[in-house]
Structure 1
Amino acid sequence: MKNIYITDLDHTFLRSDLSLSDYTKNIWNSYADRSILSVATARTYKKTAHFLQGVHVNAPMILLDGALIATMDKKIIDTKFVTKEAGDTIIEEGTKLGIYPFVLSLVDDELNEAFSYSTTLNSYQSEIIKRYVNDDHTQVFENLRAMQNNFKIVYMGDEALLRELEKNLRAVFGEELKYILAPEAYMGCYFLTLLHKDADKSHGIQSVSEAVGFDLKRLTVFGDNFNDIGMFRLAKTSVAVANAQKEVKECADIVLKHTNDEDGVAKYLQEISNA
């Protein structure tokens, strides 16, 4: 039976400039014939497919923090949506504090996505939007509302403000939603992600396991941030890169000596291959 390797992307597999070295690609791809390979990321299908050009992925991908499970050829395995009603309430709660989110939604069964945002942006959001200037799936609204099928709703800002928003949302929704409050390493701020209560990487791994039929006792996962902890607890072997958050390292079976910018995942895979 094959071993399974599932890696987070940002700050784990990808370098900080969002690239992949030829070394990492070659080592990862060398496992393709003898292993099940996939990714678990907060990224959308479109961005993930772009970053993984030339990289072998032979199992469904866990996307958007587990809200979408899909193959590289766009076959949808599972979805976990925030409803329009809940999405609109989330937006309204943010409005009370003077902040507005990014809303990532599914447009159709071809995995076309919508990235919606308000005309009112804070400095962190404005910086993010610069990266999407040429994307055709972004849409801006003076009166931002949720769509019918929303993968996730994401706020960016200062930690204290987002903690206050999380507290207010928990008062409304309780455990009906999943709340992820974590540092945003690229921007130096925090983000608060709101998802369906079962949209996470651990549930995603269960979905991939059912679709492919692999044994969780042969699973190794790689990560760096709080949204990786769930899959760390599920896997036989959990591996944190050297630049991972302290709490993530504490949950890992193995903490690497190398960071994402030093090809940590690939060096680990090469090491165990030579063992």
Structure 2
Amino acid sequence: MKLIAIDMDGTLVNNNTTINEENVQAIKQAQEVGIHVVVATGRAYNEAVNPIREAGLNLPIIAINGAQFRSTEGEIKNSITLSKETYYRVDELLDHYSMYYELYTNKGTYSNDPQMAIDIIVDIIKSANPEVTEEHAHRLAEYRVNNGSIHSVDEYHSIVEDPEVEIYKLLSFSRNEKNRSNALNDFLTFNDLAVSRSAEANIEITHRDAQKGIAVKNYADELGIPMSEVMAIGDNYNDVSMFELAGYSVAMGNAEEDIKKLCSFTTKTNDESGVAHAIQTFMRKNKVIQS
């Protein structure tokens, strides 16, 4: 095991969206023995980096489901965008199914409905941490929306029409299961899209090459590490592309049963420092540390 790729929500961060000290120490221990560690998240970089730095960790970040890769210093090393033409097709389809979405770009993340922005984060938090109360999830969501991570706008087209704007992801949301299912089926007919989800009621839409698994493989190739020596840790469907390519696939204890069935190992929950448990278990298995 020479590279570890770790999801954030429901995986690296706990129910308060901070990183447990046990996880911090396990990651540092892995780094000390020469194992590379990268975070792979659906979050935009600016929202992902703060809890990582606050925990005292220095890690490269695969952001926006693989649409962007940043070095430990925050330098953009690679980005994969959706064409404006594709954006307008997706926008039209989401409008047809009355689905809200947020727009992830190189200029930031935008919402045309702040209350829906809170609802979508509550959905992500509750899906990753089912035991969290609705009230607590709302408090966490309101903080994430109000801390400047998401910019409120009246409409998206004026942003998209800016020639300097690059589109990374559309994060759509609807509690109408029929509309969500129909939209998902329609998106699967787009040859240039990757479609996944990170919570019960959302759909994440990126370029087909902007997937966590592809980004992790590109980073492993850069380091000269075969995928058989890579461990991927996650909890949801936007982690599946990593699980399919990694030699070691680890599901969090709080993951859905379908995710656990895809993986070779299930660790403890995110609130129980499941990342640390997985890292230490496999380091012992590889005789990197003593049992």
Q: Same fold, TM exceeding 0.5? A: yes
Distance 2:159 2:187 in 1: 16
- Specify the code of the residue in structure 2 equivalent to 1:162: R
- Aligned-residue offset at 1:137: 5.5
Secondary structure of 1:193's counterpart equals strand
Aligned to 1:110: none
More strand by share: 1
Aligned to 1:209: 220
Q: Quick one: which of 272, 276, 285 aligns to 1:266? A: 276
Aligned to 2:184: 166
The 10-residue stretch of structure 1 (237-246 or 209-218) with the greater mean CA deviation from structure 2? 209-218
RMSD over aligned Cα atoms: 2.4
Distance 1:190 1:140 in 2: 23
Secondary structure of 2:95's counterpart equals helix
Decide whether the 8 Å contact of 1:11 with 1:224 is kept in 2. Answer: yes
Distance 1:245 1:215 in 2: 28
Partner deviation per Cα, 1:46-102 (whole Å, 9 max, x = no partner): 1111010234345x4211101111112122222110122221221222222333310
Decide whether the 8 Å contact of 2:3 with 2:220 is kept in 1. Answer: no
2:110 paired with 1:116: yes
Given the two structures, how large is their TM-score scaled by the length of structure 2?
0.80
- Aligned-residue offset at 1:11: 0.6
Partner deviation per Cα, 1:185-224 (whole Å, 9 max, x = no partner): xxxx510111101111111012212332223222111111
- Aligned-residue offset at 1:169: 3.6
- Aligned-residue offset at 1:26: 1.6
- Specify the code of the residue in structure 1 equivalent to 2:174: G
- Aligned-residue offset at 1:243: 1.0
**Tell me, which stretches of 5 or more residues in structure 2 are unaligned?**
122-137
Decide whether the 8 Å contact of 2:97 with 2:180 is kept in 1. Answer: no
2:63 paired with 1:63: yes
- Specify the code of the residue in structure 1 equivalent to 2:178: A
- Specify the code of the residue in structure 1 equivalent to 2:261: E
- What is the identity percentage for the equivalent residue pairs of Structure 1 and Structure 2? 20
Given the two structures, how large is their TM-score scaled by the length of structure 1?
0.85
Change in 2 beyond 3 A, CA 1:75/1:245: same
Change in 2 beyond 3 A, CA 1:96/1:146: farther
Aligned to 2:28: 29
Change in 2 beyond 3 A, CA 1:136/1:238: closer
Distance 2:262 2:153 in 1: 39
Decide whether the 8 Å contact of 2:45 with 2:63 is kept in 1. Answer: yes
- Specify the code of the residue in structure 2 equivalent to 1:37: V
Runs of 4+ with >6 A deviation: none
- Specify the code of the residue in structure 1 equivalent to 2:172: Y
Aligned to 1:149: 166
Paired residues for 1:60-209 under 5 Å: 60-107=60-107, 114-119=108-113, 122=116, 124-125=119-120, 128=141, 131-135=144-148, 138-142=151-155, 144=157, 147=160, 148-158=165-175, 159-170=177-188, 174-182=190-198, 184=199, 189-209=200-220
- Specify the code of the residue in structure 1 equivalent to 2:45: Y
The 10-residue stretch of structure 1 (193-202 or 215-224) with the greater mean CA deviation from structure 2? 215-224
Secondary structure of 1:135's counterpart equals helix
- Equivalent residue pairs, number: 259
Secondary structure of 2:4's counterpart equals strand
More helix by share: 2
- Specify the code of the residue in structure 1 equivalent to 2:70: A
Partner deviation per Cα, 1:127-183 (whole Å, 9 max, x = no partner): 656632230661312454563311100111123221122234445xx222111145x
2:250 paired with 1:239: yes
Secondary structure of 2:249's counterpart equals strand
**Tell me, which stretches of 5 or more residues in structure 1 are unaligned?**
108-113
- Specify the code of the residue in structure 2 equivalent to 1:90: V
Distance 1:181 1:12 in 2: 15
Decide whether the 8 Å contact of 1:6 with 1:220 is kept in 2. Answer: yes
Secondary structure of 1:12's counterpart equals helix
Decide whether the 8 Å contact of 1:100 with 1:121 is kept in 2. Answer: no
